[in-house]
Amino acid sequence: MLSGRTAIAGIGATEFSKESGRSELRLAAEAVLAALDDAGLSPGDVDGLVTFTQDSNQEIAVARETGIGDLRFFSRVEYGGGAACATVAHAAMAVATGMADTVVCYRAFNERSGRRFGQPNARLTGEPTSQGLEMSWHVPFGLMTPAAWVAMFAQRYMHAYNATSEDFGRVAVTMRRHAATNPAAWFHRRPITLEEHQASRWIVEPLHLLDCCQESDGAVALVVTSTERARDLRRSPAVITAAAQGSGAGQMMMASYYRDDMTGLPEMSVVARQLWKTSGLSPGDIQTAILYDHFTPFVLTQLEELGFCGRGEAPGFLRDGGIALTGRLPVNPHGGQLGEAYIHGMNGIAEAVRQVRGTAANQVMGVTNVLVTAGTGVPTSGLILSTG
């Protein structure tokens, strides 16, 4: 029902920084207004807002701050970075079903200067909730951070497929190489070598510092409307060819330790199957992919779950330069969350729009379809954006 009927007509972002000096509400408002300007729209044209449950900015506050009037639709999506592509899916459904005409998705972060997502938090356990019960099984033993949870997964992946820390490092090196030529990236002009990756300090073995995404301040917003309307606006539209959400069997928050196989991400496989089914496309039809790269090991597993290579083949894919700009599947030409900024994946969707438009800093030639993924290890989501 949704395929091809809706499009992203505008993108906007604040400058990505380590100390913004502005409130999350101000950051959100700036990004929303920038996205509307990009589309050639005004706040009065917006009748829907979608964000993450973790965003501190209530929709009515953003509406007041930006001058948006009546809202006919608003929604919030759960599961951290897993919500990124789902915000666009919710917006697209609202437009396609007539609940709204134009919806803006936004995410604002004071992560570096405000709440530090990666800090240990013993209060995660003991609460009388399903999440509190889940966390009580591993938080008391030191598994308190996303890095620790992913490290456990990475150790198993290495054992099963003879992967090495250098294989993870190749992801980091490639992302920083792409960021080095992206003027909007925090790590612009600051590439790294594999030797520097290996020499960076341990966070939780086998994760080095440079296996972990940065913490950023900033915001990103996206304008979703009908494809028909988008074609009359200022910019070329990025058509939403497919959108999906997925949760796997035995799913838990980041640390799905009770599955029989800990080397995969079944929730991403659920998303992949739906994306390929809805779009009628296959991995061979994708010219570039924007993969959620909060930690390097999950990039390898996503390549496998999405069908770009077989199970256990991602290390070889990386060694052959498969994700470089000149590789078989350029991944994160903007530098990803490891190199550009960590805005819970929303900056990746903005990059996908630029690739479809042909306006990216590191433009991949001949782009007609871009695949985008959201946060991994959690219930997640994905998109395929295409030229109009």
CA distance 246 to 122: 28
Instruction: Assess contact for 32 and 222: CB atoms under 8 A.
Output: no
CA distance 58 to 41: 22
CA distance 354 to 37: 15
CA distance 110 to 87: 20
Amino acid present at 362: N
The helix (run of H) or strand (run of E) holding residue 45 is none
Instruction: Assess contact for 269 and 305: CB atoms under 8 A.
Output: yes
Name which of 270, 218, 277 is nearest 374 in CA terms: 270
Angle at the Cα of 212 from the Cα atoms of 260 and 312, rounded to 5 degrees: 40
SS3 content of the chain, % helix, strand, coil (to 5): 40, 20, 45
Angle at the Cα of 225 from the Cα atoms of 39 and 376, rounded to 5 degrees: 95
Name which of 52, 78, 49, 81 is nearest 65 in CA terms: 49
> Looking at the annotation, which residues are catalytic?
292, 342
Neighbours of 73 (CB within 10 A): 20
CA distance 369 to 312: 26
Secondary structure letter of residue 61 according to DSSP: H
Name which of 83, 58, 76, 55 is nearest 253 in CA terms: 83
Instruction: Assess contact for 11 and 38: CB atoms under 8 A.
Output: yes
Question: What SS3 state is found at 219?
Answer: strand
Question: What SS3 state is found at 309?
Answer: coil
Place of tokens 């995404």: 213
Q: Is the dihedral of CA 107, 112, 116, 118 positive or negative?
A: positive
Question: What SS3 state is found at 73?
Answer: strand
